[in-house]
Amino acid sequence: MSKHPEYQKWAELASKQMKGKAVDKLDWMTPEGINVKPLYTAEDLEGMESANTLPGMAPYVRGPMATMYAGRPWTIRQYAGFSTAKESNAFYHKALAAGQKGLSVAFDLATHRGYDSDHPRVAGDIGKAGVAIDSVEDMKILFDGIPLDKMSVSMTMNGAVIPILAGYIVAAEEQGVSHDQLSGTIQNDILKEYLTRNTYIYPPGPSMRIISDIMEFCSTTMPKYNTISISGYHMMEAGANSVLQTAFTLADGVEYVKAALKSGMDIDTFAPRLSFFFGIGMNFFMDISMLRAARFLWYRLMSQFNPKNPKSSMLRTHCQTSGWSLTEQDPYNNVIRTTMEAMTAVLGGTQSLHTNSFDEAIGLPTDFSARIARNTQIIVQEESQICHVIDPLGGSYYVESLTDSIISEAQKIIDEIEELGGMAKAIETGMPKMRIEESAARKQALIDQGLDVIVGVNKYKLEDEKIDFDVREVPGTVRDEQVARLKEIKATRDQTAVEKALADLTAAAQNDGNLLEAALPAVRARATVGEISDAMESVFGRFVATTRCISGAYSSEYKGDSGAIDEIKKRTTTFLEKQGRRPRLLVTKMGQDGHDRGFKIVASAYADLGFDVDISPMFQTPEEAAKMAIENDVHVVGASSLAAGHKSLIPALIEELKKAGGEEILVVAGGVIPPGDYDFLFDSGVKAVFGPGTPIPESAGKTLTLLEEKYLG
């Protein structure tokens, strides 16, 4: 009970207004396991180390800069890239003219995974979820007319980070821009790829070496360039709550610091160039407090390395609003969601921000939707007067208490990771990935029950919904254009010079040469992204993850009325009794998209509902998925789609099933699929399509109905 002199009077008044209920009945337990009271007072801050601090001063809870936005507002960025370099360049010029302050480049999935556009494994991925880059010639077109000595460029790249960063450097050289003039950030955060996003190429050991080599090269030749953006965003999108995002992101950061120190670098040489990247969801105060807690914890964690430069202990961060929180249903609600999340990031003290477009639950942003997303930031920055006061929520009883709670809970997880031997060792045990997937499954169960409200999805639903805006679609001709450019480059370059440069890169990989430095001659000679990646893969190999699904997390969150899942369990048992086996489902993710939240949740939940579930490895081709479905003798394949490849990959899967004698196997589809494409998929042979926001009991029930009609009459 609070010691506030008027507390008892308040409690009596509140109890009377609640018709006699105790005040503690208003307490709320967050998904992070933090108990939130209905009232906070000054006494809640007593003895709190993170409270009563000042901006720009250790431990930086209130911001890394003394003046924060009163001195300089956050940088407005727009993460964008699609189709060809020429198309993306035109988009960038429009965005910069409309008030965007920095570039943030999205690459397509083939590029992320180190494949050239003519590789057969990536036929359905070219230009779909980012811009296709095959060589420095594409990179030069991407930045045509954009002065790289003046423009800060952020590039989200991890797997193929060596050829992409080298391509950016050489494109700048050929603009006449020296290395020391370049500013921006390369994400270069490979550990989180093994946890969530999965756009890795090499095993963890060689990947950590690549990070150290980039830090070493850039610290001496590119002092204005941030060599790593340690990312929690993709953990949040995969299902991590705010405490998990904080703990795992900072633990990744510590692992990178240790790797750099092990390579012989001085802490103050590279640590000031480290930056972070946090995801912002719809829990307004929680995520504000998360950013404040992360700054405190990073300062404390860095203290063990005894840096002399204060900047080595400052956490500077980019933020992005959530893509997962966007809904296909009643999509204009997403403008409001993004605005709230933008305010969260700003009140939490971000250094730069990307706001998602309202239509990204359906497809890539259009010029129209991107303008709204960009103007969201501009309006907050220019019209709200929020930039005049530094950390306006500093001293809030609730925010300071929540900050302290996140610090405490995240530190427990960080300590647990240290006991396992650090984040790389923890990843090998599977602990972080399992925690994130459990969190995602529990969240989905709460949504499906309506206990977590999503307006337009599980409450206040429209009876008759129609998509009344354009959806961007990348034409299939993009791959043809890229392949033609590749042929032209290979026909006109000095092949002897290319082969020598690639051989030198392989030798550097075999020995201890700096890989970024060794890649630059290959890029200048017009070696491709795929060739450079292959030159290192010949030494390091290509990493293949083990795909598993968890059990029990989804069903355990059903409280009270479990009628919907009980009915499905009863039906799966009836199917077993009549058919001699349970309904069997293969959940697969084809193409190079590594986001696995959706299909992992579906696999786990269907298993809890009584299905026998097989889950495919990531990055399957349609042929591989069909082969696995037939060998496992499944009744139905559930194809998960996120990256706009559904119109090529899913019909190809159906054709491969027919060719291999599996025409009896049903195919259903789910994920980010525009409603306008449903008829195309039905005409191709898909039996059901489950868009974003479809409750799992509903999709499972419809899938069961299809199987019952086919097998039980």
* Residues designated catalytic: 79, 233-234, 589, 593, 595
In angstroms, the CA 121 to CA 620 distance is 8
Q: Comparing C-alpha atoms, which of 341, 319, 163, 124 is closest to residue 229?
A: 319
Contacts of 647 (CB under 8 A, 6+ apart): 677, 680, 681
Answer for the pair 520, 501: CB distance below 8 angstroms, yes or no.
Answer: no
Q: Comparing C-alpha atoms, which of 302, 240, 598 is closest to residue 431?
A: 240
In angstroms, the CA 270 to CA 257 distance is 9
* Spacing of C-alpha 145 from chain mean position: 30
Helix (H) or strand (E) holding 668: strand 666-671
Q: How far apart are the first and last CA of the chain?
A: 63
In angstroms, the CA 374 to CA 182 distance is 24
Helices (H) and strands (E) in the chain, counts: 28, 16
How wide is the angle at C-alpha 655 spanned by C-alphas 653 and 659, nearest 5°? 115
In angstroms, the CA 551 to CA 327 distance is 26
Helix-strand-coil percent breakdown of the chain, rounded to 5? 50, 10, 35
In angstroms, the CA 392 to CA 396 distance is 9
Side-chain-facing half-sphere of 47: CA atoms under 13 Å: 0
Answer for the pair 643, 590: CB distance below 8 angstroms, yes or no.
Answer: no
Longest dimension (CA), the chain: 86
Q: Comparing C-alpha atoms, which of 44, 37, 29, 47 is closest to residue 11?
A: 37
In angstroms, the CA 184 to CA 173 distance is 16
Residue 346: both structure tokens together: 């700003």
